[in-house]
Amino acid sequence: MLGAIGRAFKTPDLRNKLLFTLGIVVLYRIGVFIPAPGIDYGQVQECVASPQMTQGAFGLINLFSGGALLQLSIFALGIMPYITASIITQLLRVVIPRFEALHKEGASGQAKLTQYTRYMTIGLGLLNATTLVTTVRSGALFGDVAACQNLIVNDTWWGIGIIVLTLTAGTGLIMWMGEQITERGVGNGMSLMIFTAVAAGFPASFGGILRTQGIDIFAIVLLVGLAIVTLVVFVEQSQRRIPVQYAKRMVGRRMFGGTSTYIPIKVNQAGVIPVIFASSVLYLPSLISQFGDPESPWVQWINKYFTSGDHPLYMAIYFLLTIFFAYFYVAITFNPEEVADNMKKYGGFIPGIRAGKPTERYLSYVLTRITFPGSLYLAVIAMIPLIALVLIGANQDFPFGGTSILIVVGVGLETVKQIDSQMQQRHYEGLLR
């Protein structure tokens, strides 16, 4: 393993790519600790160190920003606006025929969709920055702690405007850095930025468990975490391979086709998106309750069942929503009709299945069957932080569960595969044997 890493750094072009990627990651982590202009940095640090726990959407955004949200740094919004914009662009393909047509145009259409995603990212960044500043001014970011009410030094309209523009520009800069990694570095830039942000919180989570629970519980958590990582790697690599045979055909004087391949359908076809959707939907009741009277029965009911995250009703709804969104996202990202039409167009067929509608029905049947265990797997992984909250009092950023472990393992596997493929092109021996 160490020898393979050494060979990677001995290859000039691959070494330059790895160093460029590491340099961008370091710059990103430095930006996390640079405070936005007009923020009382010392007071913010005291509020971050307070035992008040941030939950819901704020906790999710703070996770994806690598802790920058609660630091109120120039990168406070993190990569979340880009993730939201990408998801919206995918959803619009189902609603707007123009977006679907661009998706089918190939590289030129994808370039236009990417440009639309960039514009949408800036717009969402501006909206999120305004919301964040409003939340900071109201004191709700740290749970209405009295010492965290006046974090903005210059509370004038132009001072607020500078903060909003800075946060929006930080989102644009993160997006640009991610694209630079994709073009000139190793791996998918946006995924690596998310990986960096999530992995940066692991040492603090481990330290918190060791400090509050002791060495015995800490050792048990590590053993359970190792088993969870093994399970996640196994499931993320699992796929159903549907064989496809292409008939031979004459084009001019040359014979084409006659090859065999397969359609890989992953068990977890939806990735981490269903967990993010479920978390966001469950935060809505808490968000709405902030605008109501604290003494109202419906506000008290929401605070009892949907705020702490350790109530059985919350867990059950979270579990079911994750399963629902897994089916929903797979349905909009994998189109059996399109796959069947493409196979028929190029002379491909599944052995034993007729081309056209029978192939479409067969693909839908297989997809539905394989999504069921995948959705259960996602729901179980999503429940681990909530169970840890009940059993050992860990916060919802528990490292071995939820979005954290899915992102770290998934991005790590894909990055290693890319490095391995580049090394095999040069040395005929990969990174891992």
- The pLDDT tens digits of the residues spanning 407-426 come to 888 888 888 888 777 777 76
Quick one: CATH architecture of 228-432? Orthogonal Bundle (1.10)
| pLDDT greater at residue 16 or residue 283 | 16
Instruction: Find out whether 133 and 164 touch, Cβ atoms under 8 Å.
Output: yes
**pLDDT average, residue stretch 258-282:** 82
13 burial type by CB count under 10 A (0-12 exposed, 13-18 middle, 19+ buried)? exposed
Question: Do the two domains 1-185 and 228-432 of this chain adopt the same fold?
Answer: yes
If you compute the radius of gyration of the chain from its CA atoms, what whole number of angstroms results?
A: 24
E strand or H helix that includes residue 127:
helix 107-138
Instruction: Find out whether 69 and 48 touch, Cβ atoms under 8 Å.
Output: no
What's the pTM? 0.77
| pLDDT greater at residue 206 or residue 254 | 206
Instruction: Find out whether 274 and 381 touch, Cβ atoms under 8 Å.
Output: no
How confident is the model at residue 53, as a pLDDT? 46
Strand partners, 241: 264
Is the pLDDT assigned to residue 251 strictly greater than 80?
no
pLDDT digit string, tens, across residues 357-413: 888 899 999 999 999 999 999 888 888 877 777 666 555 556 666 778 888 888 888
Strands 254-256 and 348-349: unpaired
Whose tokens are 């472990």? That residue is 405
- The hierarchical CATH code for the domain 1-185 is 1.10.3370.10
Average pLDDT over the chain reads 80
Sign of the CA dihedral with 148 first, then 150, 154, and 160 last: positive
How confident is the model at residue 56, as a pLDDT? 47
What are the sequence ranges of the domains in the chain? 1-185, 228-432
pLDDT digit string, tens, across residues 174-200: 999 988 988 888 888 888 888 888 888
How confident is the model at residue 119, as a pLDDT? 92
